[in-house]
A and B are shown apart, each in its own frame.
Chain A
Amino acid sequence: DAKTTQPPSMDCAEGRAANLPCNHSTISGNEYVYWYRQIHSQGPQYIIHGLKNNETNEMASLIITEDRKSSTLILPHATLRDTAVYYCIDGGDTNAGKSTFGDGTTLTVKP
């Protein structure tokens, strides 16, 4: 079973911000939060990661709550190309690859 929980689907209007939530109920103190996305029939692509602080890169922003039990991925200006399945996982420096991917959130960006 996945360690994280996400809503199965979300819609977003093109040009608006997409906010994707994730619950990390069993995350431990040294485990990172990672977000990936998978466009249909492709391999998943890394988006962003964080430990305690909020993070931003050219793709997205990551907000992590103070208790680290939940995170939110923010795509500030969603485009049609952002339509994909988004996965959040958590894992430590040695076991990140062994983290379980749940079914993710299917984000549909609509014109």
Chain B
Amino acid sequence: SQTIHQWPATLVQPVGSPLSLECTVEGTSNPNLYWYRQAAGRGLQLLFYSVGIGQISSEVPQNLSASRPQDRQFILSSKKLLLSDSGFYLCAWTGGAPFSGANVLTFGAGSRLTVL
């Protein structure tokens, strides 16, 4: 069965410090991978998605970057965190190409980032 792991679950970082959140998927190959951010009490904002190794698309300009060094690994990074980067970060995957029909998102448990 497919599983998705995301870590760390919680972190508190000072402004200006670097960030690395990691996400891995097991039990599938060539998944589409996604990073979302959720502000308190709000919906999910898509930050990045990837359809393959080294292929990253950014949905919104920001202080963050994403990388996909391996097929089932997706990393969210920042060189210098801002206060506005605080939030709940979610990794998710869907089936990759070739694909037909419905494509259900499976989410990780999330990483809660507080920037002080």
Nearest-neighbor residue (CB-CB) of B90 within chain A? A43
Give the contacts of B24-79 with A (CB-CB under 8 A).
32, 34, 36, 41-46, 49, 59
Q: Does B110 lie within 8 Å of A87, measured CB to CB?
A: no
Q: Does A96 lie within 8 Å of B46, measured CB to CB?
A: no
> Which one of B49, B93, B105 contacts A44 once the chains associate, using CB atoms below 8 Å?
B105
Q: How far is the CA of A43 from the CA of B36 in the complex (A)?
A: 10
Distance (whole angstroms) from the CB of A44 to the closest CB of chain B: 5
Q: Does B109 lie within 8 Å of A42, measured CB to CB?
A: yes
Tell me, yes or no, whether B100 is within 8 Å of chain A by CB.
yes
> Which one of A43, A45, A94 contacts B99 once the chains associate, using CB atoms below 8 Å?
A94
Q: Does A93 lie within 8 Å of B101, measured CB to CB?
A: yes
Distance (whole angstroms) from the CB of B22 to the closest CB of chain A: 15
Binds B, one of A12-20, A65-73, A75-83, A101-109: A101-109
Q: Does B46 lie within 8 Å of A43, measured CB to CB?
A: no
Q: Does A49 lie within 8 Å of B110, measured CB to CB?
A: no
Q: How far is the CA of A45 from the CA of B44 in the complex (A)?
A: 13
9 nearest A-B residue pairs (beta carbon): A43-B107, A101-B44, A96-B103, A101-B43, A103-B43, A32-B102, A97-B94, A97-B34, A102-B43
A sample of 28 inter-chain contacts (CB < 8 A) reads A32-B102, A34-B102, A34-B105, A41-B110, A41-B112, A42-B109, A43-B90, A43-B92, A43-B107, A43-B108, A43-B109, A51-B102, A87-B43, A91-B103, A93-B101, A94-B97, A96-B104, A97-B34, A97-B94, A97-B103, A97-B105, A98-B46, A101-B43, A101-B44, A102-B43, A103-B42, A103-B43, A104-B43
Taking Cβ atoms with an 8 Å cutoff, the residues of B that contact A are 6, 32, 34, 36, 41-46, 49, 59, 88, 90, 92-94, 97, 99-110, 112
Known A44-B90, A87-B44, A93-B102; further 17 A-B contacts with Cβ < 8 A = A2-B43, A34-B104, A41-B112, A44-B44, A44-B105, A46-B104, A46-B105, A49-B104, A91-B103, A93-B99, A94-B99, A96-B105, A97-B34, A97-B49, A97-B103, A100-B46, A102-B43
